[in-house]
Amino acid sequence: MRLFRKRHDEEQVDMNQRSPELGLKLKDLAVLHQLMQSGAKLTEPRHVVYYSYASSEDVAQAMKHEAEGKGYEVAIRDPLPEFPGQWSVVCETHGVTSPDFVRDADDFFQGLADRHAAEYDGWEASV
């Protein structure tokens, strides 16, 4: 009896799809998996950084104001020469990367990007 069917190479996995058990996006589960493989204990607080991109400095400032209101430390970085018109909005905090923390933060940053017609790129955390 076969437990898993063979995936065809042309099938794409939507990393923004949520797991039915935890409600986390698959891309967030992948980050948590990488942290655990690197020896991180997910029950301990760690430095977490979120990356978004705004189409103007004014939009970046509005996003900064909103994220600071949620307790994040925020830095706006000027566009790189190869990405003109794309201001980086880098938000940092410390927290325990529990499923609730990850899901709530992801929902906040995706909503922030959506409200400002910006792009939410994802997050990383220290081990």
pTM for the full predicted model: 0.87
Give residue 2's pLDDT: 46
What's the whole-number mean pLDDT along residues 65-77?
98
In this predicted structure, the answer to whether residue 1 has a pLDDT above a threshold of 60 is no
Walk me through the domains of the chain, giving residue ranges and CATH numbers: 26-125 (3.30.70.970)
- Angle 63-116-66 (CA atoms, 0-180°, nearest 5)? 25
Confidence of residue 80 (pLDDT cuts 50, 70, 90): very high
What's the whole-number mean pLDDT along residues 18-22?
89
What's the whole-number mean pLDDT along residues 46-55?
98
Give residue 8's pLDDT: 58
24-34 residue pLDDT tens: 999 999 999 99
| Average pLDDT for the chain | 92
- Angle 28-116-74 (CA atoms, 0-180°, nearest 5)? 65
What's the whole-number mean pLDDT along residues 52-64?
98
For residue 85, give Cα distances in angstroms to 36, 52, 73, 82. 36, 13, 23, 10
In this predicted structure, the answer to whether residue 9 has a pLDDT above a threshold of 60 is no
In this predicted structure, the answer to whether residue 47 has a pLDDT above a threshold of 60 is yes
Count CB-CB contacts under 10 A for residue 74: 20
Give residue 45's pLDDT: 97
